[in-house]
Amino acid sequence: MIYVNHVSMKFNLGIEKGFSIKQAFVNFFDPKIRKKKTEKKYFMALNDVNFHIEPGEVVGLIGSNGAGKSTLLKVVSGVLKPTKGNVQVNGAISPMIELGAGFDQDLTARENIYLNGAILGYSKKLLDDKFEDIVEFSELRDFLDVPVKNFSSGMVAKLAFSIATIVNPEILIVDEILSVGDIKFQEKSKNKMMELIKGGTTVLYVSHSIESIKELCTKVIWIEHGQIVKIGPTRKICDEYFEAQIGRGKK
């Protein structure tokens, strides 16, 4: 279903600085900086990551902040092109990397349902058919004609979650979103996820909540510093990860 073949992702840290007249001027008079500039700084966000996911598997990604989890999700969903290696995905991906990224603040909830749906690749017909379901699930019927900029972050997340999960995607990429909304909605969204998983959706799931990983995933990939530390059954890897994290904390 998803094949990640020896993927490396190299970021050039110098790019952010870029080139400007001011910088060139300063460099010209300061030989120290001039020397520094020549050595380029790279950061390996992913280093030779290699794994594959079978259809129907629910795979959790764990690791510390900055380990490369989100970068990996972006590579799989096609947002980033890997520097080395390649990714092969068979099936339609529904990315839930950041809820509400496709929302336009000035448009109403109703208009955003269509816009965001189109961004996720839904057809007009599907959106027309499922419109009621989306509204129902999001519990935002009274606010349909209010611009999204007046929404609270919880409401935005609820709406976005409802749009993203309205179809049964073949592959679902989820980045830390089950903690959205109030307790009632959290429960509801978790059930929805369970429903999708039972329906045979392949899921790639990132979370810092070991609890929810244990609950949902069949397999876990643990990455640190852009490299895979271990791949294996959920319970075993989670325990080892937990051990390593706490152990490190004690030192």
93 binds other proteins (CB under 8 A): yes
Q: Which of 1, 44, 115, 146 binds other proteins (CB under 8 A)?
A: 115
13 binds other proteins (CB under 8 A): no
Contact segment (CB under 8 A) with other proteins among 43-51, 97-105, 191-199, 203-211 equals 97-105
146 binds other proteins (CB under 8 A): no
Instruction: Strand 58-62: give its sheet, edge to edge.
Output: 93-96, 171-175, 202-206, 58-62, 219-224, 227-233
Do the strands 2-12 and 42-53 form a parallel or antiparallel pair, or are they unpaired?
antiparallel
Nearest approach, Cβ of 133 to other proteins (angstroms)? 19
Nearest approach, Cβ of 235 to other proteins (angstroms)? 32
Q: Which of 107, 144, 146, 210 binds other proteins (CB under 8 A)?
A: 107
Instruction: Strand 42-53: give its sheet, edge to edge.
Output: 42-53, 2-12, 84-89
What does each C-alpha distance from 207 to 99, 175, 188 come to in angstroms? 14, 7, 18
1 binds other proteins (CB under 8 A): no
* Residue count, binding to other proteins (CB under 8 A): 28
How many Cα atoms sit within 13 Å of 69 on the Cβ side? 25
12 binds other proteins (CB under 8 A): yes
Judge whether 201 and 168 are in contact, CB under 8 Å. Answer: yes
CA 136 vs. chain centroid, Å, equals 25
119 binds other proteins (CB under 8 A): yes
Q: In the beta sheet, which residues pair with residue 84?
A: 8
d(CA 71, CA 207): 14
Q: Which of 81, 208, 235, 236 binds other proteins (CB under 8 A)?
A: 81
Nearest approach, Cβ of 79 to other proteins (angstroms)? 5
Q: Which of 48, 57, 111, 240 binds other proteins (CB under 8 A)?
A: 111
d(CA 219, CA 55): 12
120 binds other proteins (CB under 8 A): yes
CA 115 vs. chain centroid, Å, equals 20
Q: Which of 17, 34, 55, 78 binds other proteins (CB under 8 A)?
A: 78
What are the residues binding other proteins (CB under 8 A)? 11-12, 15, 74, 77-81, 93, 95, 97-98, 101-102, 104, 106-107, 111, 114-115, 118-124
